Amino acid sequence: MEHALTTNNLSVSVGKKTILYPTTISIEMGEMTAIIGANGAGKSTFMRAALGLIPHSGFSSLSSKTINERMKFASWVSQDRELVWDVRVKTLLQFTLERTLRTIDTSFQKKLTGINEALELTNISQLADQQVNSLSGGEVTAVLIARTLVQQTPIIFLDEPLASLDPIQKIKILSLLRSLSKSGRTIIASLHDIKQSAKYFSRYIGIKNGTVVIDAAPIEAINKQNFNRVFVK
C-alpha cells in the first residue's frame, strides 16, 4: 500500500451547514502527521470522515473499504473516555485481540503474548490487572494506544490524545507515538498544543473553518504568520 490515506474531495455536511469542505490530501506510510486547528475547526470531523466513522461525501481510501477490511489497516483512539463497564486493562485488550484473531490471518503464537507485548511497548505492563476506571487520564490514553497495537494495524488515528493531560503525561504519550512511528507505523493525530508536539511530528495539516489552510513541516507551520492563519479568526 503506497499511501496510508488518500482523500479526494472529502466533505461533511450536516443539513445545510458544511462542516468540512472538499479536502484532497495524501498521507504516506510511516509519516507522523498532526491535524491542528482551533476548537470546532473540523479536525475531528476530518479524521472521522477519513476513517469512515461518519457519513461524508467524496472519497477516502480507508472509508471505502469494508468494515472488516478497514479494521486491518487503521485503528482509532477516541477522545471520549466513556467506560461504563469497569473491566481490567488486559480484558479490554483481550476483546480486541479476539476480534483481530478472527479477521487476521497471521497471528501471535500464544494469545497473551500479543497483549503483554502491547503493554510493554506502551510502558504500562504494571497496569495489566487494574480496573480501567481507576486509571488516570494519561494511563487511559496509553491503554487505548495499547489496544490499537493489539489490533495490529499499520495506521493509528488519535483524536485529541493529549487533551486534559499534564505536561509530563503529554511528553510520555508523544514519545510513545514517536517510538511507534519509528517502528514503521503511521500516526495521524489531532492536536491543540502545537508547540510541544512540533518536534515529534513530521507534518502539520492545519484546518480552519473546515478548510485546510496549512500543510507543511511543523517549523514552517508554527511561524507567526501561519499560526494566525490557522488559529486566529
Partner 1 sequence: MKLTSAKLRWSCLILLITFTYLSLDIGYIDINLLTALTSVFYGTKSTDAVILWELRLPRTLMCLIVGSGLGLAGAALQGYLRNPLAEPSIVGISSAAALGAVLCIALGLNNSGFFYTPAFALAFAFVACWTLIFLTRQSKSKHNVILIGVGVSALAGSLTTLILSLSDNPFAINEIVFWMLGSVTDVSYSHVLIAGPLVVIGTIFLYKHAADLDLLTLGEETATSTGVDINKLRTSILIGTTFIVGGITAVTGIIGFVGLVTPHIVRPFVNHEPKRTMIWTPPIAALLVLISDIIIRTAPTTGEIKLGVLTALLGTPVFLYLISKQRS
Where on the chain is the footprint of partner 1 (CB under 8 A)? 48, 51, 53-54, 67-68, 70-71, 74-78, 80, 82-88, 91-92, 95-96, 98-100, 103, 144, 147, 151, 157
Rounded-to-integer distance, Cα 43 and Cα 40, Å: 7
Closest C-alpha to 158, from 90, 166, 167, 149: 149
15-27: burial string, b at 16+ Cβ within 10 Å, e else: eeebbbbbbebeb
Residue 68 or 175: the one with the smaller Cβ distance to partner 1 is 68
* Best CA proximity match to 215, nearest among 224, 204, 207, 199: 204
79 or 123, CB closer to partner 1? Answer: 79
Provide CB contacts within 8 A for 228, sequence distance 6+: none
What are the start-end ranges of the E strands in 114-202? 155-159, 186-191
Q: Rounded to whole angstroms, how far apart are CA atoms 127 and 160?
A: 22
CA angle 132, 154, 200 (to 5 degrees): 75
CB of 59 to partner 1, least distance (A): 19
Minimum CB separation from partner 1 for residue 48, in Å?
Answer: 7
**CB of 52 or CB of 210, closer to partner 1:** 52
Rounded CA-CA distance 114/39 in Å is 36
Closest distance to partner 1 from the beta carbon of 72 (Å): 9
**Complex with partner 1: residue 145 or 221, whichever CB lies closer:** 145
Select 56 or 208, whichever has its Cβ closest to partner 1: 56
The least distance separating partner 1 from the CB of residue 128, rounded to whole angstroms, comes to 13
| Shortest CB 135 distance to partner 1, Å | 13
Q: Given the C-alpha cell 473499504, which residue does it identify?
A: 65
Q: How far is the CB of 73 from partner 1 (least distance, A)?
A: 10
**Identity of the residue, 138 or 206, whose beta carbon is nearer to partner 1 in the bound complex:** 138
